[in-house]
Structure 1
Amino acid sequence: MNCKVYFLLTTPLIAMLAACGGSSGGSAFTLGDTSDPDPGTISIGFSDAPVDDAKEVVIEVDTITLKRSGDDVVIETFTSSDLDIIDAETFQINLLDYQGSDQAIVIEDLEVPSGTYTSVELTILNDEAVIDDSYVIEVDDTQKILKIPSDDLKLDGFVVDEPEEEGDTQTFTIDFNLRQSMTYNPGQERYILKPNGIRVQDNSGDRTIRGDVDSGLFDTEEDCADKEDPTAGNIIYLYEGTELGIENLADMFDEDNSSTDIPDGAIAPYAVVAVMEDGMDNWAYEFAYLPAGEYTLVFTCDAVEDDPDDYDGLTLPLPEEQIIELSTASASAVCDLPIVDNECS
């Protein structure tokens, strides 16, 4: 990867500029503090969970900053074979091109100091006067501005390990999960992209939960039979943990921005995906890049009006038996729906 990387030091007005290149995409950086551990090599990918209410969601990334105690790493140029760019000062990506377990590697084999990075910050171009920077193409082909508050998405960080063997690379995926992180502002006719719901996951030991879904679930319930489009609003919610209490499982909400009251004990989903047609007359879902652990999976056929910010009080699950506890502690899981007698189909 050819790129331009700055190490921003805590000493005022001092910065070290290093150019990285080479066939493998990384080169060693020599910092003034010889006590630093051996550097690690990382790649970063972008992915998204499927959504059913947009054709394109495009962002233009200006810089990626890896924040850590002492000195930050600021990546200002990008080379990506997945995006077909070389030494680009910015890059555009349609997140909907990389859904589920697909991802676009936007930083490849970059050598950085090992250790704890407290956050990843994406600076995204979203000038409202330049609609072609970051935008959304709706299902009717209308193009709307995509706004990022403060121009930055401040996300969780990660730990870069010292390599055990030469050539070891850690890959981290930024899963945008647009159903949770993107909202629509009808007053200004624009979309808003926020960090809420966006996850950063180390690919070593990550898990997937996926399965097929019988389309008979889409409109068998009275609340769903009157949907204008039976294929809309069929959503699967994933919660961290088990034995959560069905009365506590809530639809999406942002406790800092909800305009509705949130009941005590309400648990927001960890991840949310739409049930999508796979091009072969089959309906399916996939949660990718999950940490290993215990989960509760819930289906509803009536989530058309689920607002990412507001607690909406949706009935979950719907149908009522479509809930199951799953473990990915040792391996990924496959769970086809419907759930019958507390077992996947």
Structure 2
Amino acid sequence: MSSTRFILPTAFAFALSACGGGSSSADITGTGFVSLGVTDAPVDNADAVVVTFTEVQLLGDDDAVRQTFTLDTPQQIDLLALQGNNSAFLVEGEEVPVGTYEQVRLIVDAVAPSCNNIPDPLPSYITIDGVDYPLVVPSGAQSGLKFQGPITVAAGQSAAYTVDFDLRQSIAERGATNCYNLRPVVRVVDNAEVGTLTGTVDPDLFADAACASADPTTGDGGAVYVFAGGTTVPDDVDTSTEEDVDPLTTALLTPVTDESDAVVGYEYEVGFLLAGEYTAAFTCQARDDNSEQDDAIGFGDVANNITINADGETTVNFEAAAETSPE
């Protein structure tokens, strides 16, 4: 399937900073403020992915804990609700010594790896077709979910970072136990260095025979995959060791309707992309993309050499090719 695209870079006001923080109360010789939030790239076939966070730690390059923030009230967050530019802060405007923290560790409350003695209510869970299944986070309550930074805090300044979970690559069913593993694939990004990719998808792209598993009424099964670099050949999400390039992140589609509630198109939004060059590709076979294996999903349209600017928005619209009449 071929199509034409419109790539329209524009500038817009985009800032996520520490709330309640500021340089006026900080020791400009030795402390600054840090905020840390979470967001996610979504997964198909789930209604919710809820994780309970209890503590945030900042570590040095020697794995030693430099700062610990124990949450007064554990935060139970539905990561699936945090798509696009939506995020939720775990830590906001906390004063810390200046310097570079090489790693972030999130302590979570989840079902034990044995998946026995399931508590009620579930601390962390995935909801599929209205049913809640226990979510297991290996070592989540002990060594935590540890991610590479770095996080840099300057004297007297506020720094805000976001941990971006890619749920499409992070969740897998745990055999026949009725439990699911969360092995996070994440990015930690500086909010001052990120921009946004947005756009629309032509509903005619769902007319292809390859889109049999997609629902053109809701857009389910359709997704936009984003790859780092300007000339990447798009590929599925998998654990293969072959020299292919997995997507950096993905975005689901939101239907756009007219006054009669008829679907006239779809919108998508990918937030928290570091400034740089990217490739974006539309697929109507996202439901068939199993992260545990190599799937031969197809991409109906590919846009190369997309530039994302910090504090900016770039628009890429995927449109079906116009039919040509025979001469």
The interval holding the TM-score normalised by the smaller chain is 0.7 to 0.9
Q: 1:252 aligns with which of 237, 242, 246?
A: 237
What residue in structure 2 maps to residue 195 of structure 1? 184
What residue in structure 1 maps to residue 123 of structure 2? 133
**1:26–1:144 Cα change, 3 Å:** farther
Find the residue that maps to 1:304 and give its secondary structure: helix
Give the deviation of 1:238 after TM superposition: 0.9
**1:200–1:180 Cα change, 3 Å:** same
Q: Residues 42 and 250 of structure 2 are in contact (CA less than 8 Å); yes or no, is this contact kept in structure 1?
A: no
Matches within 5 A, 1:150-299: 150-151=139-140, 152-163=144-155, 166=156, 168-196=157-185, 198-218=186-206, 220-224=207-211, 226-227=212-213, 229-230=215-216, 231-244=219-232, 246=233, 249-255=234-240, 262-263=241-242, 265-277=243-255, 281=263, 282-299=265-282
What residue in structure 2 maps to residue 121 of structure 1? 105
Unaligned residue ranges in structure 2 (runs of 5+): 1-19, 323-327
Matched, 1:314 2:297: yes
**1:292–1:74 Cα change, 3 Å:** same
* Structure with more of its chain in strand, by fraction: 2
**1:26–1:185 Cα change, 3 Å:** farther
Q: Residues 324 and 339 of structure 1 are in contact (CA less than 8 Å); yes or no, is this contact kept in structure 2?
A: no
Distance across 2 between alignment mates of 1:100 and 1:228: 21
Matched, 1:105 2:98: no
Distance across 2 between alignment mates of 1:186 and 1:25: 49
- Aligned partner letter, 1:243: T
Q: Residues 103 and 147 of structure 2 are in contact (CA less than 8 Å); yes or no, is this contact kept in structure 1?
A: yes
What residue in structure 2 maps to residue 14 of structure 1? none
Distance across 2 between alignment mates of 1:116 and 1:160: 4
Task: Give TM-score, length-normalised by structure 2.
Answer: 0.78
Identity %: 29
Unaligned residue ranges in structure 1 (runs of 5+): 1-22, 31-36, 79-86, 256-261
Higher relative contact order (CA 8 A, sep 6+): 2
What residue in structure 2 maps to residue 17 of structure 1? none
Matched, 1:333 2:323: no
**1:113–1:189 Cα change, 3 Å:** same
Find the residue that maps to 2:245 and give its secondary structure: coil
RMSD of equivalent CA atoms: 2.9
Aligned length: 285
What residue in structure 2 maps to residue 62 of structure 1? 54
Distance across 2 between alignment mates of 1:210 and 1:178: 20
**1:27–1:120 Cα change, 3 Å:** farther
What residue in structure 2 maps to residue 12 of structure 1? none
